[in-house]
């Protein structure tokens, strides 16, 4: 059966050594690593540094012959990167998860690399198995990126297919793989609730993704299929989004011209900024499994209720909401000063003003929108209003 998934699945233990060998002989990968580690020296001394880095990594990874050993090896580096770019990570709801049981984690989507990295971080440190991660092929333009991601339990979602028939076949394969992973392999899955990041801070579940889960088991009732996948809504809240100014610029251009064309290398730059940029505090909430819902519309609404209702609101969200032209009078959203103490609020105001100052007048409303939307959504849920 596994042969059917070869084009999209993560690498298996037997493939780890040959893929590592291929990476350590890849000039593009070594060049990227050199630029990351030694940004100033990479240009003039790249020719000297590349073979040294390759030799160092070869000895360091010599004993790695399985995916779990590789994850254990890179875990301290990832932990350091995560901890360096945040003011602390907190999580709640892990008591809803049982060790040894596979889950389908469906999360809101703000950052390409860090969303699944934070979920991995939380479950790994709670002694649970790390999930296989869905990643769009639009981010795997270079072979070494694809190799790296598939070594780290990522599987490929073919998004750059245009024909309707091909798209359908790709979704069918993806559906079969997700079901196979959870039910046959006993391996958890992480996937975003919608294609592409929520650039306006309005996190919504795309019912097409929920339909896809059912596609490969069409002859079974929808609710039964979803229940068998142990679907856990995950809410990821960043105090500050390192890419917020870039997102505001993109939304502003779209609003003015009707479209937005990415510059060459823009994806790479936003991935790097998302990883290393300052995020303030980060909170993850794991909801209990959602079950017993008969169709995609009902299920999407229930997932949204969990994700938006459990989203951790920080002072900056209330500050943005108070400035937002779209705020709703009937929602009874308190002022930031009624929710947070003076010291916490002063720190947030300084950071927020810095971000506003870095924004042009045209882009400012789109920056405010990103931080205000989660407040509106959560208070609508509290008031029992439709989203």
The answer to whether position 31 is within a domain reads: no
In total, the chain counts a number of residues equal to 387
Choose one of 283, 309, 335: the last residue of a domain: 309
Domain extent for 166:
66-309
The answer to whether position 59 is within a domain reads: no
Alpha helices in 24-107 (DSSP H): 27-37, 42-60, 67-84
Residues near 78 by beta carbon (within 8 Å), at least 6 away in sequence: 117, 120, 121
Does 205 lie in the same domain as 70?
yes
Please state, in angstroms and rounded to a whole number, the distance separating the CA atoms of residues 27 and 350.
43
Q: What are phi and psi of 191, to 5 degrees?
A: -145, 145
Total number of domains in the chain: 2
Does 233 lie in the same domain as 276?
yes
Does 265 lie in the same domain as 370?
no
Q: Order of strands across the sheet with 154-157?
A: 89-92, 282-286, 231-238, 104-107, 189-192, 132-136, 154-157
The answer to whether position 87 is within a domain reads: yes
103: left (phi over 0), alpha (psi -120 to 50) or beta: beta
Does 154 lie in the same domain as 207?
yes
Longest distance between any two alpha carbons in the chain, whole Å:
65
Strands 231-238 and 282-286: antiparallel
Residues near 167 by beta carbon (within 8 Å), at least 6 away in sequence: 161
Does 234 lie in the same domain as 188?
yes
pLDDT value, residue 1: 45
Does 299 lie in the same domain as 325?
no
- The sign of the CA dihedral 128, 132, 135, 139 is positive
Please state, in angstroms and rounded to a whole number, the distance separating the CA atoms of residues 133 and 121.
13
**pLDDT under 70 in the chain at which residues?**
1-2
Does 370 lie in the same domain as 243?
no
Please state, in angstroms and rounded to a whole number, the distance separating the CA atoms of residues 316 and 95.
29
Angstrom distances, CA of residue 191 to CA of 61, 157, 181, 335, 369: 29, 10, 13, 35, 25
What letter does residue 61 receive in the DSSP assignment?
Answer: T
Please state, in angstroms and rounded to a whole number, the distance separating the CA atoms of residues 320 and 1.
51
Choose one of 309, 344, 362: the last residue of a domain: 309
Please state, in angstroms and rounded to a whole number, the distance separating the CA atoms of residues 330 and 342.
26
The answer to whether position 300 is within a domain reads: yes
Query: Any idea of the CA torsion for 158, 289, 312, 130, to the nearest 10 degrees?
Result: -60
The answer to whether position 27 is within a domain reads: no
Does 345 lie in the same domain as 252?
no
Q: Find the distance separating the first CA and the last CA of the chain, reported in whole Å.
A: 42
Does 290 lie in the same domain as 273?
yes
> HSE of 322 in the Cβ direction (CA atoms, 13 Å)?
12
The answer to whether position 141 is within a domain reads: yes
Does 305 lie in the same domain as 322?
no
Structure tokens at 332: 């009874």
Choose one of 293, 309, 325: the last residue of a domain: 309
Does 319 lie in the same domain as 301?
no
Please state, in angstroms and rounded to a whole number, the distance separating the CA atoms of residues 115 and 218.
30
The answer to whether position 29 is within a domain reads: no
What letter does residue 110 receive in the DSSP assignment?
Answer: S
Query: Angle at which helices 296-309 and 364-382 pack, to 10 degrees?
Result: 100
Residues near 32 by beta carbon (within 8 Å), at least 6 away in sequence: 144
What letter does residue 329 receive in the DSSP assignment?
Answer: G
Structure tokens at 125: 């440190």
Does 322 lie in the same domain as 270?
no
The answer to whether position 229 is within a domain reads: yes
SS3 category, 84: helix
């Amino acid at each position: 059966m596994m042969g059917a998934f070869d084009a999209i699945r993560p690498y298996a233990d037997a493939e780890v050594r040959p893929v590592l060998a291929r990476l350590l002989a890849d000039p593009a990968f070594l060049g990227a690593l050199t630029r990351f580690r030694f940004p100033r020296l990479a240009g003039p001394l790249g020719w000297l540094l590349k073979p040294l880095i390759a030799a160092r990594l070869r000895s360091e990874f010599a004993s790695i012959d399985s995916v779990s050993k590789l994850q254990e090896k890179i875990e301290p580096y990832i932990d350091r990167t995560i901890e360096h770019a945040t003011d602390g990570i907190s999580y709640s709801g892990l008591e809803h998860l049982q060790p040894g049981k596979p889950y389908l984690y469906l999360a809101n989507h703000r950052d390409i690399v860090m969303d699944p990295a934070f979920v991995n971080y939380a479950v790994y440190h709670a002694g649970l198995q790390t999930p296989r991660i869905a990643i769009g092929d639009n981010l795997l333009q270079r072979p070494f990126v694809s190799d790296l991601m598939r070594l780290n339990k990522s599987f490929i979602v073919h998004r750059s297919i245009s024909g309707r028939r091909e798209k359908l076949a790709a979704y069918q394969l993806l559906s079969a793989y997700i079901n196979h992973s959870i039910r046959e392999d006993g391996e958890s899955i992480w996937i975003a609730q919608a294609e592409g990041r929520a650039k306006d801070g309005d996190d919504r579940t795309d019912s097409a993704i929920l339909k896809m889960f059912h596609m490969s088991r069409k002859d079974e009732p929808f609710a039964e299929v979803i229940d068998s996948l142990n679907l856990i809504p995950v809410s990821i809240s960043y105090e500050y989004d390192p890419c917020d100014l870039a997102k505001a610029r993109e939304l502003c251009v779209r609003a003015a011209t009707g479209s937005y064309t990415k510059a060459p290398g823009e994806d790479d730059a936003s991935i790097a900024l998302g990883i290393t940029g300052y995020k303030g505090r980060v909170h993850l909430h794991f909801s209990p499994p959602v079950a017993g819902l008969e169709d995609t519309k009902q299920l999407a609404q229930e997932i949204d209720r969990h994700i938006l209702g459990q989203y951790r609101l920080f002072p900056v969200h209330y500050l943005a909401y108070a400035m937002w032209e779209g705020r709703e009078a009937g929602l009874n959203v308190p002022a930031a000063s009624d929710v947070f103490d003076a010291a916490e609020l002063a720190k947030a105001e300084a950071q927020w003003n810095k971000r506003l100052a870095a924004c042009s007048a045209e882009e400012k409303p789109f920056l405010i929108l990103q931080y205000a939307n989660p407040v509106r959504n959560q208070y609508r849920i509290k008031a029992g209003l439709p989203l």
